[in-house]
Amino acid sequence: MSKKLFFFDEVIIGSGFSAYLCSKINKKAKIISPNYMLNFQNYPRRKNLEKNLFFKQILNKKMKSFGNLKYDLKLSNLHDSLIHGGHTNYWGGIININQLSRTARNQLKFFDFKILPLDFKNTSCISNVSGLGQLVDKDNKIFQTSKFLKKYLNFFLETISFKDNLIFLNLKNEYEQKFSAITKKVYLATGIIQTLDLLHRSGLFDDINFLQMEEYPCDFNFSFNNKINISKKHVQVKFNFHGIMKHFLNSNSSFINCFKIFNNFIYLDQNFLSNKNYLNIQYNKKLNKLIEIGSKKEFFGSSIHYNNVIINNSKTLFKHLKSINKNLIGVSMPFVQQDSPGPVSNDLINHCIKYVKKK
């Protein structure tokens, strides 16, 4: 039996924050994103990519990583989760308004979120940097894209290929049925792990030997006072106990409110440091493996904001995909370079508004 064939003008791959932004800017593009864990059961589970999500998995058992690309990590902790809504299922929704471009600020009114200034009463956290706020929905809950991306095609993208000016997508659904799609343009809005998986499966890594990604690292310290560190050497966000539970379990459920009784006793300082940290990886095609290399002593992956993948020490992944096909456009974390320590949502908004064509 031949595969069913779809024709789309433009496609968005993913369902996280970048995919949501794309869908609001380009309303005609079709969203393709898997929603059922059954989509991935034929791929090996990678528990070493779930460590950062341990506490969040308590509330959501579907936060698991599957893929045929293995990761041999030494001093690093990468994360992956294959659930609808992407990283917005376990983020704090923090944004730096001062880092938004003028164009981006003018576009904010078209999105489904509003921005609350940080204070203990409304957001359960404060900062030493002015301009930081929290993205929330109309009910003042931390913004989650799964509440708004309701119209999407429930497919898993297995491989992507190109011929002439067309892009070919090989898809499967939750019943393991195979489908194909032809499109003119793809906005790739997947996280770093799933993006690398896709390129590996599609044979687009054949000329790649080395990868690098970067982050502004962060550390965490418990404290027993509500005073903020006014030093500008790093960006600090101080959470009261209610904020700790909301941000790090990312639960909008009402039971979290019972922890407010501890608000005046326990706080957590999240400090984003100003010196960038780098992760260098070697790609071994025969072993289907990415291997961490180098003798660095710094732990990588503390912030889960790692971004800007560089290939072969010479070209960004964003430019690499554009060289393969000018209409393959990366809009998520692998393709964005964070401008300053702290939240990265503002960088994603700037990037999407710059590269996604409004329709």
Closest C-alpha to 310, from 334, 331, 338, 286: 334
Look at residue 57 in the predicted model and tell me its pLDDT. 46
Alpha helices in the chain (DSSP H): 17-25, 54-57, 102-107, 192-201, 241-249, 317-324, 345-355
User: How many domains is the chain partitioned into structurally?
Assistant: 1
Look at residue 270 in the predicted model and tell me its pLDDT. 92
Look at residue 271 in the predicted model and tell me its pLDDT. 93
Look at residue 303 in the predicted model and tell me its pLDDT. 80
Per-residue tokens: 301: 């992956």
Q: Give the Cβ contact number of residue 185 at 10 Å.
A: 21
List the CATH number of the domain containing 201.
3.50.50
Per-residue tokens: 307: 């971004």
Look at residue 1 in the predicted model and tell me its pLDDT. 47
Residue 332 C-alpha from the chain's centroid: 6
Look at residue 137 in the predicted model and tell me its pLDDT. 94
Q: Give the Cβ contact number of residue 257 at 10 Å.
A: 11
Q: What stretches in the chain show pLDDT beneath 50?
A: 1, 55, 57-58
Closest C-alpha to 65, from 41, 90, 88: 41
Full domain range(s) for residue 129: 4-355
Helices (H) and strands (E) in the chain, counts: 7, 19
Look at residue 56 in the predicted model and tell me its pLDDT. 54
- Please write the tens of the pLDDT for every residue from 255-276: 666 666 667 789 999 999 998 9
Look at residue 69 in the predicted model and tell me its pLDDT. 92
**Residues contacting 134, CB < 8 A, separation 6+:** 92, 93, 94, 95, 115, 116, 118, 123, 125, 142
